[in-house]
Each structure stands twice: as C-alpha cells, then as structure tokens.
Amino acid sequence: MAAVTVSGLCFDYPDGRRALDGVDLEVAHGERVAVLGPNGAGKTTLVLHLNGILVPSAGSVTVGELAVTKENLAEIRRRVAIVFQDPDDQLFMPTVHDDVAFGPANLGLRGGSLEDRVHEALDKVGMGEQVARAPHHLSFGERRRVAVATVLAMQPDLLVLDEPTSNLDPAARRELAGILLQLELTTVVVTHDLPYALELCPRSVILDEGRIVADGPTADVLADTELLRAHRLELPRGFDPRYLQVAMPPSTGIVAPVT
Amino acid sequence: MAAGHAGIAGLHHAGDSAVHRLPAEAKVAATVLFVFAVVATPRTAVWAFTADAALIAGVACLAHLPARYVLRRLRIELPFLAFAVFLPFVGPSPRSDLLGMSLSHSGLWAAWNIVAKGTLGVLAAIVLAATTPVAELLGGLERLHVPRVLVAITGFMVRYLDVIAGEAGRMRIARLSRGYDPRWIWQARGVAACAGSLFVRSYERGERVHLAMLSRGYTGAMPVLHDHRPARGSWAAAVLLPASAAAFAALAWTAA
C-alpha cells in the first residue's frame, strides 16, 4: 500500500480561481519525492491538502489506509508532518523545548514520555543542547532544524517540507540535507531548488497550473531541458544535464551526493 | 532586530543567587502582593516607605544586581512622574512659598504618594524581571493558574516582538532607500500607511502560525507542557517580602 495516494484532487480558491486541477500522485513507503514547480503552480496548496488543512473541491487524499476526512484529522495530523517555509511561522512558543513538546503534548503525552520525545527529536537534528533557548535567538539554519524537530517529535509516517532551502546559506543547506537523508522517512520535498531535489530525491514530479505534468527519476526529469523550460524551471548555470544521467543511473534509485 | 532583543532579553540579569533560584510563581505572587501592600500604605507614613525601599534594596543585593543596572531600568518611570510634578502647583490651599513658588500642601502629598508608591512598584518589577527569564515567568503564570490562553497570548507577544520589529525596521529602510523620511505631522499619512501594512502582514503571519498549530494537532486548547512541581519551602522565603510590607502598612494605619 502507498504511503500517500492523491487522486483527482481539485481545489478552487474562494474567488473561483482553480489552484489544483486534478492532481494524481502516489508516494510509496520509504520513498523520497520532490514536487517541483514554478511559483504559483499550486505546490503549497497541494501540501495543505495532505494533512487536511484545506478541504478538496473534488478528489481525495489517503494517508496509508486512512482517508483525509474530518473524523480522521487528529490521526492524519500525527501521521503527516509539515515543515513550513518560514520557521518563524512554525516556532511560536517561548522556548525550543516548548515548541518541540507542543505537537506530542497535543497527542496526549505528558511527563517523562513527553520529555523523551522532545530530546529524541532534537538529537536527530543535532539541536539537543539547545532546549532552553528562545527560537528568536537561534540562527536561521538552527531555526529550520528545530522546525524539523517539532514535527519529528510527533513520530510521523510522512514528512513534507515546503521550500526547505529558502533563505539558508550553503552550509546550513548541506547540514539540513545530511539530516534529512539520515531520517529514513517517507519524504515529500516541495521546491524549485532543482539541485537540492537531485541531492535528496530519487524521484521528481513537476506540478504546473494545478496538474502533475511530469513524473520520473529526478536525473531524467532535470535532463529534459525542454520540459523544464516549458514550466519555468531551470538548472543553475554550469549544471550539465547529461552529466546527471551518467552520474546517477535512475535504475539504482539510491541518492548519491553530487560531487 | 537588535533593539528588539535588548527589549526582552535585556530585562533579565543572569545569575545564580537565592533570588534567581526561587520558583517564578512564588516571585510573581510576592511581587504582586508587595505592590498591593505598598499601595495600601497611608501616604504620610514616610517611615513605612523607607522600610519598604530598604527591603527591596536588600533583595536586589541578595540577587547581586548592580545598583547602576537597577537605576538605569528605573528610568522607565520618568514619564509617569512628570504628571506628579504638576500636582503641587495646581493643588488646593493651604499653600506655602518655597523659592518663590507657591506650592499646595495636599498637592505635595499627592505627588509624594505617586513618586513613592510608583518607584517601589517599579523596583519590585525590575527585581522580578532581572531574576526570572521570560520563559520561566510564563511558566510561573501558568502554575499560578492564569488561564493558559492568556499565558499563550503573552508568550506569542514575546516571541513575535522581534519578528515584527524586524519587519518594521525593514519597511523603514525600504522607505528611506526611496527617499521618504516622514518626520512632520502633515506626513502622518506615510506613517499610517506603513502601520497599516505592518498590521496586515502581522495578521497574515498570525494566520500562518495558526495553520502550523493546527498541523501539529492543536484543537483550541493549549496543551500542558510542564510538570507542576510544588515548592513550598521556597514560597515561605518569597512571601517574606510582601508580608513585611503588609505589616508596615498595618502598623502605619493603626498608629495613624
């Protein structure tokens, strides 16, 4: 069974504009998939459907065997962890500890088991020593890592990251990639940072104008210059798409760091 | 952003004194009770106010707070004292002449009342803020059974003060960079427009924060995050301060 199944998903904004126009997407257990697309393609709207924040106009989302419906929301939100684009939106409590504890405490954890969750999650992102600090005293990269810890503390089945590299400096970007690769979680990375998609995700889909327009091994998708150009996506100057296919044969499905 | 940091974190004076180690809830309760006791003291009992001031000074010494630090913080009181300065000039008779100025007796007492009680209250608050980090202060409020929603709102205010101040700072720089620097009352329109867009941005951030809370299972009630550890021994120590002030007030009333 797939970790997530999105079928025929449509969503209209209150003003009538169509944001999602029949999205079909299946993510297998343990898979890491990049959702690529230009600004305004509907990427964030898709993300907000995965944990039931937005309710589809048509179509459905299923997480594991559980449909995303009003009755299942509590369990869905435990299973689906979303890391939002701006860590200042995600870290709203006075200390790192309280922020990481917020999710599991909502699940009913108290006392020692709550503390264990908090420390385990912070250790996974290398922020175990920072429990007592205030989020606004952390660097941007540290805030991003704590934001990841806040959702890991809920022991999710699916990790969704919305533009994880925005505003990160190169070192913080690399550190975050290292952390994400170690987690071994089913992961959806929403981004227009194509090299990052290549580094993290063996498979990529392109979302444009509310539809999935391409789906395949990341190296193949990124090597198709025509496809990228048609959807306002571009590899950074100096990136040779032919090299990508040689360096990362799609058959292995294993992510190797780009050298 | 730096200014915002100083605004909240600058209030705390890190240390490891007996006062620092007291539980936050005991300190909050002691401060509030102390202020009530001071306010209840009759204004003519100058000796009682002196004794209260000595008490607070003693606590500040115990907490190893430098006198300069406390006095510098005390400046926040100045705008409120400006009002008190007027009272001796506008109060009713009887009046006395001092250095060629006619001063009202009851106005003088009223001014003294404001200065003495205000200063003592602000001193107590300074000692509380200097010895208790903001996060502990919030935890203390929660343990005093202040509704969790109110504590959460206060927490959000502390958390986002820097973020919003940073946003305001960036907007100001963007305004200056385009050659607009409103300083005069007839340019208020520009300032109002900035305040308006800052409000809209903060409101939108509020909505995004709410989405993030929902995504982590928030259902409308703030969860319990800390174990409540009763610390009765330290309560007794903290209550000494307001109890003494209350005793002085009671003595002053019975003597009067």
Confidence of residue A251 (pLDDT cuts 50, 70, 90): very low
pLDDT of A35 above 90: yes
Say which range, A106-120, B5-19, B27-41, B64-78, has the weakest mean pLDDT: B5-19
**Mean pLDDT value of segment A27-36:** 95
pLDDT for res A248: 52
Write out the DSSP string of B119-151: HHHHHHHHHHHHHS-HHHHHHHHHHTT--HHHH
Give B189: exposed, middle or buried? Use CB within 10 Å, 0-12, 13-18, 19+.
Answer: exposed
Name the token pair of B205.
């951030």
Question: How many CA atoms, within 13 angstroms, populate the side-chain half-sphere of residue B241?
Answer: 33
Average pLDDT taken over every residue of chain A: 90
What φ, ψ does residue B202 adopt, rounded to 5°? -65, -35
Whether the CB-CB separation of B41 and B105 falls below 8 Å is answered with no
DSSP B63: T
Q: How confident is the model at residue B105 (pLDDT cuts 50, 70, 90)?
A: confident
Helix (H, G, I), strand (E, B), or coil: what is residue A10? strand
Q: Compute the distance between CA of residue B65 and CA of residue B59 in angstroms, rounded to an integer.
A: 9
* Neighbour tally for B24: CB within 10 Å: 22
Output the CA–CA distances (angstroms, integers) from residue B95 to A144, B86, B87, B105, B108, in the order listed.
67, 14, 12, 6, 10
Residue B223 is nearest to which of A91, A105, A135, comparing CB atoms? Answer: A105
What is the predicted pLDDT for the residue at B231?
Answer: 64
User: Residue A228's Cα: distance from chain center in Å?
Assistant: 21
Residue type at position A202? P
| Distance in Å from the first CA to the final CA of chain B | 52
**Minimum CA–CA partner of B212 in chain A:** A90
CA-to-CA distance for B172 and B167, rounded, in angstroms?
9
What are A's interface residues with B at a Cβ cutoff of 8 A?
48, 51, 53, 74, 77-78, 81-82, 84, 86, 88-95, 97-98, 101-103, 105-107, 110-111, 114, 132, 134-137, 150-151, 154
CA A229, chain centre distance (Å) = 24
What pLDDT is stored for residue A241 in this prediction?
66
Contact A6, A67 (CB under 8 A): no
Contact B135 A95 (CB under 8 A): yes
Which residue blocks in chain B are alpha helix, DSSP H?
2-9, 18-21, 24-39, 46-62, 67-74, 78-90, 105-131, 134-143, 148-177, 188-215, 232-255
Q: Which of B159, B213, B217 lies at the smallest CB-CB distance from A135?
A: B159
Looking at residue A202, what is its pLDDT? 93
Can you tell me the distance from the alpha carbon of A215 to that of B220, in angstroms, rounded to the nearest whole number?
A: 39
Nearest CA in chain A to B226: A111
The answer to whether residues A206 and A233 touch, using CB atoms and an 8 Å cutoff, is yes
Q: B130 near B65, Cβ under 8 Å?
A: yes
What are A187's strand-pairing partners?
A32, A159
Residues A92, B213: C-beta atoms closer than 8 Å: yes
Please tell me the distance from the alpha carbon of residue B42 to that of residue B45, in angstroms, as a whole number: 6
Nearest-CA residue of chain B relative to A95? B135
Least confident range of A232-241, B27-36, B240-249: A232-241
Q: Which two tokens stand for residue B143?
A: 């343990």
CA distances from B18 to A61, A136, A168 (A): 57, 28, 42
The pLDDT score that the predictor gives to residue B256 is: 67
Nearest-angstrom CA–CA distance, A44 and A25: 15
Residue of B159, B162, B215 with shortest CB distance to A94: B159
Containing A34, the helix (H) or strand (E) segment is strand A32-36
Read off the pLDDT of residues A119-145 as tens digits, 9 standing for 90 and up.
999 999 999 999 989 898 899 999 999
Mean pLDDT score, A54-83: 94
Q: What is the pLDDT of residue B6?
A: 47
Mean pLDDT is lowest, of A186-190, A249-253, B207-211, for A249-253
Question: Residue A161: which pLDDT band, with cuts at 50, 70 and 90?
Answer: very high
User: How close does chain B come to A59, measured CA to CA in Å?
Assistant: 21
Q: What is the pLDDT of residues A172-185, one digit of tens each?
A: 999 999 999 999 89
- The tokens of A227 are what? 């496809």
Q: What is the pLDDT of residues B178-190, one digit of tens each?
A: 887 777 777 778 7
pLDDT at A98 > cutoff 80? yes
Element at A214 (helix H, strand E): strand A211-217
Residue A60 is predicted with a pLDDT of 95
Average pLDDT over residues A43-59: 94
Confidence of residue B237 (pLDDT cuts 50, 70, 90): confident
Q: Which residues in B lie closer than 8 A to residue A94 (C-beta atoms)?
A: 134-135, 138, 155, 158-159
Residue that has been written with the tokens 């009067």 in this structure? B256
ipTM of model: 0.84
Report B:151-180 residues touching A (Cβ under 8 A). 155-156, 158-160, 162-163
Q: Which two tokens stand for residue A8?
A: 């025929």
* B159 neighbourhood in chain A, CB within 8 Å: 91-94, 134-136
Q: Do A154 and B205 touch (CB under 8 A)?
A: no
Q: Which residue did the predictor score with more confidence, A208 or B16? A: A208
Q: What is the model's pLDDT at position A258?
A: 43
Give the β-pairing of B101-104 and B95-98. Answer: antiparallel
Tell me, letter by letter, the H, E, C secondary structure of B158-173: HHHHHHHHHHHHHHHH
Partnered with residue B104 across adjacent β-strands are B95
- How much is the pTM? 0.81
